[in-house]
Structure 1
Amino acid sequence: MENRRTFIKKSGLILSAALLPFPGCLGSTSQRKLGVALVGLGYYSTDLLAPALQKTDYCELRGIVTGSPEKIPVWQKKYGIKDSNVYNYQNMHTIADNPDIDVVYIVLPTGLHAEYAIKAANAGKHVWCEKPMARTAEECRQIIEACNKNRVKLSKGYRMQHETNTRKIMTWAETKPYGNIKKVISEAGYNGGTINPWKLKKEMGGGAIYDMGVYSINAARYSTGMEPMAVTASQSTTRPEIFTEVDETTSFQMEFPGGIIVDGKTSFGESLNQLEVTANKGWYYLKPMQSYSGVQGKTSDGKKLPPMGKNQQAVQMDDDALAIINNTEVMVPGIEGLKDIHIVQKINESATNNSKRVLI
């Protein structure tokens, strides 16, 4: 049986480096806040991360990296960002000389994650990388290796693993209060609104399986506490004129140790947002399971899992900042992103080979 620990050992990645003394570790929560630079000023940075950074206790927005000069004065006026903390993609490497910036948060299209996460690591800055981690497992490995080589911490932007009800589900995977898990349904998707053009491009890491599918895959893994052994998948579209390169909808079934079956689905054409776990002594669910707020659930014996009252992104970034300040393990290391992208590639392999069963 392969669990999460054995996967890490088999991956051959040196994760013990995470607890080496790091440049910029402050050693005490009484020290100054960590300075964060956001790389990419699209929707997620503008509407979610920047506002959330105003609610954090241990980090603050101090820098930006953008290819859109017209955005610079708007951000400087709103957040008081100094001229010396403004960068573009061509001079981002010079952030190495800036003591104001401790962390670089990569919030770019997926296809650019590896390039700029590695640049940040080579600049000696801690790296927070938004999901999905990269286009391929090999790119994920390159990011991890760059962070280890430069002795900087790498955290994945998996906000759900910082959310209280999700963490309870993760704990139940170990304690099994409802008995042995038999089946899981894990679905994440949305319908309506404009799809960002890069999410329709294969070379940029577009498609539902990358954008929303990592929620379903990661939830399958943390709700069982195990790693899948095989997957069977299919992909479809109702809008072939739009989805010419990537999937609109992907359905997949993953086989886990102990006979556990996970039915997963992700889509840009359906509203999907649930995690249901069935065990031999009961069941529990989160509905919604990946929304920016209001994640809540219920159990077969009547327990309610009320929504967390705090901003998810703020909690995530404070948790990650504390790991740097106290030089402790990050809650969601890079290996988590690598494992999910490895599974994404196996799902795509199955779907493009007439739903062939593929070993993971």
Structure 2
Amino acid sequence: MGRNQFLKSILAIILGMIAGAILMAIMSFNPFEGYLYLFKGGLMNMERIGNTIATATPLVLTGLSVAFAFKTGLFNIGTPGQMLAGGFTAIAVGLTFDLPKIILVPMIVILGTLAGALWGAVPGLLKARFNVNEVVSAIMMNWIAYWSVYYLIPSYFKGDFLETESKMLPEAATLRVSWLTNLFDNSFINLGIFLALIAVAAVWFILNKTVLGYELKAVGFNRFGAEYAGMPVNRNIMISMAIAGALSGLAGVIQYTGNSNIMQIGVMPSQGFDGIAVALLGASSPIGVFFSGLFFGLLYVGRGFMNAAVKVPPELADTIMATIIYFAATSMIMDKLINKVFKKKNENKKKNGTQTPGRMVEK
């Protein structure tokens, strides 16, 4: 994440929060009090910190998924379906096999991640072989996953009390471990955060230290130029979407076996679409996406406390998030503001005679 991109993200957050403060003032709420409780809601004790980290974990992974596809010039809007594919696979494996936790959990993680990869590879294949727009095919795959889960859960994994949700996973099939739960005062933090950190490191390594990463970025910059240079463009498109799908599938595993232990039907996971916002704010950088996901997790956890403490509607927190993303997306405005700041610095250097040797001679 370059200096300019980092500054743009920080500036987007500041402007979004200023807009939120104005809205609070218009609605007769105290902005300082509102923001105090918003951040206290996610950070005031170990339990809330744990819940913030757990809430942020799927967002980090879906943000990575969208960002990875962006690098190849693709728009992975299929993250909700890929989450459902990974999550359903995890639920199905967890409820079907009676195995020790040390065997069952890795099996769930691997198979759920592979299911997400398969769900992402389909739009990649259609794009590579038939030039089908990946946005259209990915949305199609979202609804296939949605209706498949809608049918399969009540038919084969129906809960004991409600037909709209699956049976509860046994403890051996979840990502929760007692030592981590106790460390964060019984929050729902789980092993997913470590998987997310591994994913961030892996994506950074692939993009910056491998031939595959170089080729993927080359395809993103100029597909025809990469093809002219002899790079396997179609193969790279499929690989990119499969890796993006795998990241979202892992997010689904963590959401349904870590943050929760059931799967409900009729729900398209919002973390999928929110991953687009996380990727934009994180400037599609793996490290930037990680911190962006944590920030959004903080806002998600804190908005409920803000509402309970000072009656600020939680929808206002959603508006603040939307405004932040608006400013993050309008990179032209951000560039102008940042360039203005650095232009002033350069002008000051020129006045002091420190710009170039030629300038010094002229003086």
Q: TM-score range by the shorter chain?
A: under 0.3
Q: Give the TM-score taking structure 2 as reference length.
A: 0.22
Largest Rg, 1 or 2 = 2
Q: Give the TM-score taking structure 1 as reference length.
A: 0.22
Q: Which protein is richer in strand relative to its size?
A: 1
